[in-house]
Structure 1
Amino acid sequence: MDHKILFFIESQWPLLLGAVALIIMIFKGPLTRRAAGIHEVDPATAVQLINHEDAVIIDVREQKEWSQGHLPGARHIPLGDLPKYMQDLEKHRGHHIICQCASGMRSSRAAASLKKAGFDKIYSLRGGIGAWRSAGLPVEK
């Protein structure tokens, strides 16, 4: 190997290690969701599920985020409160459930929790409410 490359690696190893860790984190999320059986849906598919399958929307964002606008008909259950609402969600066990947050990260965790609890028609809205708004779909306050 070239002496300059070796010198760069030796002198910049913390930076290189951080870059490798970042790459792993970026790719780990989608792989973990797929391994857990969590399906992501885009806004158009979510609309289809809502309109034709009577899907239930669960917004797992915090109150301040919810107050700034949410999907019409969504139910607000912050991610941290989800365990307290599991019993109440039992009545929706046979329905399609779409978890939604700001970007798709928290909703994926909520979907994984519901999947682990035995719900089987669980989805995470890819891109969250940002993708929903970008698609020109309505929000309510």
Structure 2
Amino acid sequence: MNFSSFLADNWYWAVAAAASGGLLLWQQLQEATVSGGLSPALAVQLINKERAQVIDVCEPAEFAAGHVTGAKNVPLGEIAAGKGLPGNKKLPLVVVCASGQRSAKAVTQLKGMGYENAQPLSGGLKAWRAANLPVEKA
């Protein structure tokens, strides 16, 4: 028995597994929205699976000292101007700062600008580093 015939005979298990995984991800996203932020692990899932853009709202000197790999620096004071933000407002955004305080404020502003899929990283860069996730320096 090869894999394709096994899958053909047991397709319903594959569908159940895919549906279960999708529901789990959806539930985690809902909980993150209610709890006030994404965990680093959930942020990685959004970046990898949904092509989320990481926006770092730290000041340029903080950003240069270390930031999430691939993040764009748009300081909190410059969010309202929209410079450096993606043109596609439907794109998921993971908003990061040093500890999570500024990113929550930035998300409020971003949602007011139409970026409904913006979510803060709970615990900020500190939590990202604690999870041993990649950080780069400018």
Report if TM-score (shorter chain) is over 0.5.
yes
* Counterpart for residue 63 of structure 1: 60
Q: Distance in 2 between matches of 1:105 and 1:138?
A: 21
Match of 2:127 among 128, 131, 140: 131
**Runs (4+) off by over 2 Å:** 36-39
- The DSSP-based 3-state class of the residue aligned with 1:82 is helix
Q: 1:92 Cα deviation (Å)?
A: 2.7
Q: Distance in 2 between matches of 1:90 and 1:60?
A: 14
Q: Distance in 1 between matches of 2:35 and 2:112?
A: 10
How many residues align? The count is 106
- The DSSP-based 3-state class of the residue aligned with 2:82 is helix
Q: Give TM-score, length-normalised by structure 1.
A: 0.69
* Counterpart for residue 17 of structure 2: none
1:19-54, Cα deviation, whole Å (9 max, x unpaired): xxxxxxxxxxxxxxxxx9785101000000000000
Structure 2: gaps (5+ residues) = 1-32
1:73 equivalent in alignment to 2:88 = no
Q: Give TM-score, length-normalised by structure 2.
A: 0.71
Structure 1: gaps (5+ residues) = 1-35
Q: 1:89 Cα deviation (Å)?
A: 2.8
Q: Highest CA radius of gyration, 1 or 2?
A: 1
| Structure 1 contact 38–123 (Cα < 8 Å) conserved | no
Q: 1:74 Cα deviation (Å)?
A: 0.3
Match of 1:114 among 110, 114, 127: 110
Percent identity reads 43
| Structure 1 contact 38–111 (Cα < 8 Å) conserved | no
